[in-house]
Chains A and B, each alone.
Chain A
Amino acid sequence: MTVPQPDRPDFVDKRVLIVDDFDGMRNILRDLLRKVGARQIDVAANGNEALTALTRNKYDVVLCDYYLGAGKSGQQVLEEARAKSLIGASTVFCIISAEKTSDMVMGAVEHQPDDYLIKPLTEAMLQTRLAKLVKRKTIMATIQAALRAKEYLKAIALCEKQLAEDRGGSGDLVRLRCELLILTGNYEAARTAYEKQLAVRDTAWAKAGLAKLHFQEGEYHHARSLLQQLVEDNRAYLEGYDWLAKTLIQLGEWQEAETVLIRATTLSPLSAPRQQSLGEAAWQCNDLEVAEQAFRKSISLSAHSALKTPQPYLGLANVCSRKGNSKEALEILGRLTKEVEGEMVKIQAKAAEVRVHRAADDNTQAQRCAEELSVQVQKGTHDMPPAATLDLAEALMQLDNKEVASKLIQFVARNHHEDEALLKRARDIFERAEMGEAGNQALESSRRLAIDYMDKGVRLARQGKLGDGIEVMREACGQMPNNARVLLNHAYLLISHMEKQGWHHAMFNEARRCIETARKHTLDDKRCGLLLAKLETIK
């Protein structure tokens, strides 16, 4: 039997960007692309040149080497280009590497390129794989456009349509569909799809998917045993380690989480978020050396990244402070405000500074910082994690700034009125400050505030006064901007209103904002997803 050559791809009208720090390799790639018909080829020698080129021109294909010498890596070029919307849904972005690494197989889906091409690149590879990617991209473009517009149900429907047409090799679409089903709270359908996949083939991502479902449903013991088996069978499957560590943390097993993350960072030392997780786990275990190294690595790995976060700086400052090196801790906080942008970052750095001064018994400096802070933190717009807010409150109590400290604690209690662990810590802080009685009253009234608002809102809605109910809940959201239950109830009322009165632009956006904020603060991801899906069905 003779087999026809695959269709000759048409690269004639495609604009291609080659990014490689090695000039010999750039020339080889350019020659290869010319052989398969490409005419418009640009080259860049490093990450910054690549980003400049991407700003100036629209490319159909980007071939970017993973290692670009000093400066940004290929992965960071991709992340920054996506974050700044320099590449659209129809651009095929391939990362070229001399070898396959764990990061490539694992990486979070949203940060993955369209494909990894392993050297040596050949004409045939460009003709088959790259051409297929270009073709596939036109299909994926509609799905990605839906994702960007946050039309998740539509994206799911598009995946299903394409899956019905595909003859095979659509593992990526099956996977994407499952993730979108989870995002929209449809756990049953996601579970069915994962199990269907596992019936065909023992696949790591499908097993990890089932474990994630257990995690989301709060079945941490189930999730743990599934993930332990998964990493045992697939020693280099990083996503398995990440979820296992997350699960262990939920179970309070920090020591084991640290061990798992050490194993994962050994396999893949170049991921800034994973080093940050290790630092956090080691800090919790009071393993200061490991924590310090991990935080330092996380900072240096994200030096050229567009996705920098303040966490490793704050973590490292904590470590230095506890080791008695407050001078370095303060230097790091200074670096934080210079290297990571944003008002919230400045506030968080200042709050950490209070704690560093406090730990060094420099109360004058601590007071000074606390005063600079007090206006902003009382407004509750500091975006600090609740545990960090309580840390700050405790430091302020010790400085005898009881008024601001109480306000901070009440802010936490209002926003997390169902979190028993946080409330207990809050009570302990009041007690240590010898404010036990007043503290209990303050906590109780904070807790009541959330409950009263919700009762009132629901009552009004039941009486058919949906508009008034929404007014009440809107006010509640203003006072409790991070209270997931309040936010979700408000979103629910807004959706109910639109179901009766029709789609309303401002309400629609308000509901989505509420759900998205709540999602960051709650473990009940399913309800967020279901509301998001419900919201999308209103048109």
Chain B
Amino acid sequence: MGLPTTGLDIATFLGASIHDMKNSINVMQALLEDALSGLHTHCQCPATKKLDQVQYETRRVSDNLVQLLALYKIEREMYPFDLQEQDVGDFVHEAIARVSALAQFRGVTLSYDYPQDLYWYFEYELVLGSVVQAMHNALRYTRDQVRLVATVTDGRLEFRVEDNGSGYPESMLCDLPAPQRIRFATGSTGLGLYFSSVVAQLHKNRDRQGETRLENGSSLGGGTFILALP
């Protein structure tokens, strides 16, 4: 009888490599953010526009890696799902801070709202991953505003990411299983939405389960991403 821990396979290397890539991207991101903060905001020269694009793409790679790593671990039943009572206000501030450099650079105004003194049980890292990637997505498609709202609706905590872009295409609003949305031409793999729906489903409280929804017609007039947690 051998120890499974020594059985190296492609999946193990996959996990380890994702981890390693994530570390490298983290350093690149921090350096890039630092370098960009020295540049004048709204500077219209072509170099800064390109850097903006680099920053956005780095974020996307980073988001994807975080999600792939988490999904890989969830699938192997190795993810340390850690449900704890969290301060919703702190969470919102952290999510906003994660995207503020990019928003500022793109000239998008960020706003947020949450009820004071609200605590809720959720897995901090997974939910942060889901909300931050929804905000990155919103930053890409919005005109000039993105808003993060936390509310308690029908006994569930809802995180809503709203924008004032042109909204989600009709095809995304219906209930398609994630893989069918993969469109390589536009770079939309559906990974983000799939990740969010897995995160939502992991959140259970007795007979209730979390869910994700996309809607059009937010308070800002564009699309809304909703993550509801029981």
Q: List chain A positions with a Cβ less than 8 A from chain B.
A: 1, 3, 5-6, 22, 24-25, 28, 31, 98-102, 104-106, 118-120, 122-125, 127-129, 132, 167-171, 201-204, 234-237, 262, 265-267, 269, 287, 289-290, 293-294
Residue B98 CB within 8 A of the other chain: yes
Identify B4's interface contact among A106, A129, A132, A266, CB under 8 A: A266
Give Cα distance in the complex from A25 to B119, angstroms.
Answer: 32
Complex contact A203–B34 (CB within 8 A): no
Identify A267's interface contact among B78, B112, B206, CB under 8 A: B78
Which of B2, B78, B86 counts the most chain A CB atoms within 10 A? Answer: B78
Which of B84, B113, B117 counts the most chain A CB atoms within 10 A? Answer: B84
Residue B171 CB within 8 A of the other chain: no
Q: A129 to chain B: which residues have CB within 8 Å?
A: 90, 94
The B8-55 residues at the A interface (CB cut-off 8 A) are: 19, 22-23, 26-27, 29-31, 34
Q: B85 to chain A: which residues have CB within 8 Å?
A: 168-171
Q: A25 to chain B: which residues have CB within 8 Å?
A: 27
Residue B205 CB within 8 A of the other chain: yes
Which partner residue on chain B sits nearest A294 by CB separation?
Answer: B3
Which partner residue on chain B sits nearest A174 by CB separation?
Answer: B85
Complex contact A105–B4 (CB within 8 A): no
Identify A236's interface contact among B79, B89, B96, CB under 8 A: B79
Identify B93's interface contact among A102, A104, A128, CB under 8 A: A128
Supposing A6-B90, A122-B98, A128-B94 touch, asked if A98 and B5 sit within 8 A by C-beta, the answer is no
Which partner residue on chain A sits nearest B86 by CB separation?
Answer: A169
Complex contact A124–B96 (CB within 8 A): yes
Give Cα distance in the complex from A99 to B69, angstroms.
Answer: 9
Supposing A124-B96, A124-B97 touch, asked if A236 and B80 sit within 8 A by C-beta, the answer is yes
Complex contact B80–A104 (CB within 8 A): yes
Give Cα distance in the complex from A120 to B125, angstroms.
Answer: 11
Residue B180 CB within 8 A of the other chain: no
By Cβ-Cβ distance, the 10 closest A-B pairs, closest first, are A124-B97, A168-B119, A235-B77, A105-B80, A102-B80, A128-B90, A236-B80, A105-B82, A28-B30, A269-B5
Complex contact A201–B94 (CB within 8 A): no
Supposing A3-B113, A3-B114, A124-B97 touch, asked if A236 and B78 sit within 8 A by C-beta, the answer is yes
Q: A170 to chain B: which residues have CB within 8 Å?
A: 85
Q: B5 to chain A: which residues have CB within 8 Å?
A: 265-266, 269
Q: A118 to chain B: which residues have CB within 8 Å?
A: 125
Which partner residue on chain A sits nearest B25 by CB separation?
Answer: A120
Give Cα distance in the complex from A316 to B34, angstroms.
Answer: 52
Nearest-neighbour CB distance to chain A for B75, whole angstroms, equals: 11
Give Cα distance in the complex from A280 to B93, angstroms.
Answer: 48
Give Cα distance in the complex from A120 to B121, angstroms.
Answer: 23
Which partner residue on chain B sits nearest A258 by CB separation?
Answer: B1
Give Cα distance in the complex from A44 to B82, angstroms.
Answer: 30
The B88-134 residues at the A interface (CB cut-off 8 A) are: 89-90, 93-94, 96-98, 112-114, 116-117, 119, 121, 125
Complex contact B23–A98 (CB within 8 A): yes
Nearest-neighbour CB distance to chain A for B117, whole angstroms, equals: 5
